[in-house]
Amino acid sequence: MTQDAFHFLQSRQSQPAKLFKGPVPDRAELLEILTAATRVPDHGKLEPWRLVVLDKPAMQRLADLAEARAQELGGDAEKIAKGRGQFDLGQLAVVVISSPKPSEKIPVWEQVLSAGALCLGVVNAALAKGWGANWLSGWPSHDAEFAAQAFGCVGDERVAGIVHIGTVVTPMADRPRPDLAKLITWA
């Protein structure tokens, strides 16, 4: 079993979310995926994150909101298209919100990293269940006004990632991977 898990990690790859189609996991299967995904370092059970699940109707509402926000910001057609893009084409997504908690023991940076680990956990759990998964962000994710309206972000909350989940219709070839010899320093 351990070798199977290692082989999965060696060969896992995300496919472009814009190519995902239906079906998508139902609520019960998504809860299984999220249960597995939340087994990340949460630093003393702080759970410094929260999740927002987006279905197709929510995606349409967010595409419109992204377009309106881009126009408020004086965005050009490209900015509007990028803002709408992932929501127009999305079927199902899990938004991971970094939500740091007050703590004298756990630095905010470690809490933010926990949210990033959760994003990767959602991707890996979805892939392990046989779904396509892709961790995206985009300008709307980093716009405080959009994040507040779309996902209820307040205070220090930030969108760590939007993980799209769906059916991969046409698998793509793997991309080139990093040359570790150039990135590792043995000390």
pLDDT of 26 > 70? The answer is: yes
pLDDT at residue 51, as a whole number: 98
- Extract the tokens encoding 151: 């996902």
pLDDT tens per residue across span 36-77: 999 988 767 899 999 999 999 999 999 999 999 999 999 899
Band of pLDDT at residue 1, cut at 50, 70 and 90: low
pTM: 0.93
pLDDT of 86 > 90? The answer is: no
Amino acid (one-letter) located at 186:
W
pLDDT at residue 70, as a whole number: 95
pLDDT of 34 > 70? The answer is: yes
Q: b vs e for 101-111, b when ≥16 Cβ sit within 10 Å of the residue's Cβ?
A: eeeeebeeeeb
Backbone angles phi, psi at 81, to 5 degrees: -65, -40
Using the 8-state DSSP alphabet, how is residue 173 labeled?
P
CA 122 to chain centre: 7
Q: Which domains are present in the chain? A: 17-55+90-169 (3.40.109.10)
pLDDT at residue 45, as a whole number: 84
pLDDT of 170 > 90? The answer is: no
42 touches 34 (CB < 8 A)? no
